A and B are shown apart, each in its own frame.
Chain A
C-alpha cells in the first residue's frame, strides 16, 4: 500500500495543484483554474504558517497529499481561518414561516431561503480534491481529517465553529437547476461563468446581484426545489466524512447551486473531541495497536499520516514505528497529536 503524507503546499507543488484544479468540476471555486490564483493560495498559506498568530483572521492553510515513494501529489485540502474576513461570505438560510389563519382553520409552513452572513467568521474547510484512485479505504479520511488535527494542534488560530460548502447538483454541461431558476434571473449569466467570476474576481459582485428579499421555495420549479441541499457526486465522499465527524446539513445552502453547507461546533468535531497529545516512543518494527491519524505539531513542517500506534494515555506516550516517525519528521520524545481513525 502506498504511503501518503499530508503536508503544507509549497511553490514547487504549483504544477501538480494546477493539474488537480483542472480536473475538478465547475463550482469548486476554492480551487480556481487560474495559475495566478493558485499561486496566491500557496503564498497566503506559506505566509500564514510563518506568521505569529494569536486569533483567527485572514490566514489560510493549503495542504497537499503526497505519495511518499515518488513525491507525486494526489490530493489537496485547505482551511480558511475565518470565512468572510476579506470579502463577504454569503449563504442562504433555510427558514420556515408559519402561515396560519385560525378563522379559516388553515395552518401551514412555508419554506423560504433568506440571504445571510451568519457563517461569517467561521473556519472554512475547502479545496478537498482527491485522485479517484484513492477514493476507497482510509485515505480520504486522512486528507479531510488531518485538517481537524491541525485545528486541534493550533486551536487559537481557528474559530469556534467550522463550516464547509458542498458542491450542489449540476449536469455535465455545468448547468445547475437551482441557478437556472434563481441566480440566472439576477445575474443574467450562465452558472459556469458566475462560478468563474467568483473564483477570479472576488465575491463583491455577489452582494450587488443577489436577491435582497427572501425566496419563497414553493414558487420555484420542482427540479430547483428538489436540488436544495442536494450534493454533487463529487462532494459525496467529503460530505460523508464530515457527517461522520458530526457536521450538520440542515440550516444553510449555497447561494449558487443550493448545495448543502455543513457546520459543526469546533469542539464537537469527532476528531477534535477525541484527540490526544503524547510523547513519541520509538518502536523498531510493527507496533500493532490500532489505526490512528497522527500529526506533528509543526506549522510549516506539519505532517500527518495514517499509522498503527499504541497509545498509553496514563503515561502520555505513544509507540510509533520508525518509518512512521520518519514520515512525520519527529524524534523520540517529541510530542505528536493523534486521534483514532
Chain B
C-alpha cells in the first residue's frame, strides 16, 4: 500500500469508493460531477494554482499490487475563507440570584465562525475490506508528513470534524431536537446539501440566537460532543497525535471538532529527515516514510529504524513505491506514539 495525491485517472475508482461511504461523510458524496471537480481542485492545489481559501489536497491509498484505490484522505488548506464555516461553541451561561439563593449553570450553544482559517483534515474513508494492518494509520497520518514538509501551505491550527451520533437509519437525535425545527428536512438531506458545498442555506435557516440545551431532548443533550461508534477509533487516533476537543461541535449532528496546532501534532513534531538506504529485510518498528516531493508525494508504511548518520533502510519494493533510489532524502516518523 502507498499513499499518493489523487489524479484525473482516479475518477471512476473514486466514484465507486464514495458509493460505499454512506451518510455522515459529508465531504465524500457519490456525485460524479462533484467528485470530478474535487479531483480538479486537488490537482490544482498540488500545482499551487489555488489560493488557500480554495486549496484542498486529496490523497488516495493505492494497493501497489492490484493498483486498486482503497481509501481517501484530504486536507483543506483553510476553511471558511470563501464562505462561512459554522460550529456551535458549547458554552456556559450562569444565572444567579443571591437574593433568593439560586445559582444555575446552563449549557448554551453559540453559533460561531471561530474555526475560520484553520486547516481541516477531511474526506477520510477506508474501504471496510482494508481496515487492517496499519492501513488506517497510513491513510490518516501520512497527511501529517505532508503538513510537516510543507507548513506554508497550511494554517497554524489544524482541525478535524468527527462524525456525530446517528442511528442505522441515519437519524440524528441532535438534529431531530434542533435543526429539524428550522430546516424541516431530514438529517440525511441536510447533511447531503452541506456536503455538496451548499453552505449558504445554513446561515439562512439556522437559529441565529444562542440555544439553551435545556430545551433540547435528553437524547440530543447526551450526544453533544460525542462521536458515532464507527468514528471512535479515529477520535482515539487523533487524540494520541495531540488533538483535543475544545468545545466546538458540528451544527447538524453535534459531533466534536478536535484541534491542534500544526507544529504540535506528534507526527509532525517527531518526524525526521533521513537518507534512504537499501536493505533486503530491515528490522524495527513501523514507520511512515515519505519521499518529501511536493508533486509526486508518496508515503509508505515500512519496518525500520533511524540508523547511524540518519540513514533509513528500505526494501526495494518500498523504494519503488516511493519512486526513489538509495541515497535520496526521506522524512520518517514512527507510526505510533511511543510512551
Contact = CB atoms under 8 A, between A and B. Distances in A.
Interface residues of A, number: 32
B205 interface: yes
Contact of B204 (A99, A197, A210, A211): A99
A103 B97 contact: no
Contact of B211 (A99, A108, A188, A216): A216
B97 A208 contact: yes
B205 A205 contact: no
A104 B106 contact: no
B181 A205 contact: no
B168 interface: no
Given A201-B100, A213-B212, A219-B215, A208 B95 contact: yes
A205 B93 contact: no
B339 interface: no
Contact of A185 (B104, B201, B204, B210): B104
B80 interface: no
Contact of B215 (A101, A110, A210, A215): A215
B201 A106 contact: yes
B214 interface: yes
B204 A188 contact: no
A215 B208 CA distance: 11
B285 interface: no
A187 B99 contact: no
Given A216-B215, A219-B211, A110 B181 contact: yes
Chain A CB within 10 A, most for which of B99, B103, B178: B99
B102 to A, nearest CB: 5
Contacts of A187: 95, 102, 104
A214 B209 contact: yes
B210 to A, nearest CB: 5
A219 B210 contact: no
A81 B295 CA distance: 79
A304 B185 CA distance: 60
A208 B96 CA distance: 6
Interface in B77-106: 93, 95-97, 99-100, 102-104, 106
A100 interface: yes
B282 to A, nearest CB: 56
B137 interface: no
Given A185-B106, A188-B102, A215-B215, A209 B97 contact: yes
A112 interface: yes
A104 B199 CA distance: 11
Contact of A101 (B181, B200, B214): B200
B36 interface: no
Contacts of B214: 185
A55 interface: no
A213 B207 CA distance: 11
Interface string A207-229: 01111111110111000000000
B251 to A, nearest CB: 14
A187 B99 CA distance: 12
Nearest to B177: A219
B182 interface: yes
A332 interface: no
Given A205-B97, A218-B181, A106 B104 contact: no
B220 to A, nearest CB: 10
A104 B93 CA distance: 34
A220 B97 CA distance: 25
Interface in A191-244: 197, 201, 204-205, 208-216, 218-220
A189 interface: yes
A212 B198 CA distance: 32
Interface in B90-149: 93, 95-97, 99-100, 102-104, 106, 108
Interface string A274-297: 000000000000000000000000
Contacts of A134: none
Interface string A100-128: 11011010101010000000000000000
Interface of A: 97, 99-101, 103-104, 106, 108, 110, 112, 181, 185-189, 197, 201, 204-205, 208-216, 218-220
Given A186-B106, A209-B104, 7 more contacts: A104-B205, A110-B181, A112-B209, A188-B102, A188-B104, A189-B102, A219-B177
18 contacts: A100-B205, A101-B200, A101-B204, A103-B201, A104-B205, A110-B182, A112-B209, A188-B102, A188-B103, A189-B102, A205-B99, A205-B102, A209-B97, A210-B95, A211-B212, A213-B212, A214-B209, A219-B177
Q: Shortest 10 CB-CB distances between A and B: which pairs?
A: A185-B214, A205-B97, A218-B181, A101-B204, A208-B97, A101-B201, A219-B215, A213-B210, A214-B209, A209-B95
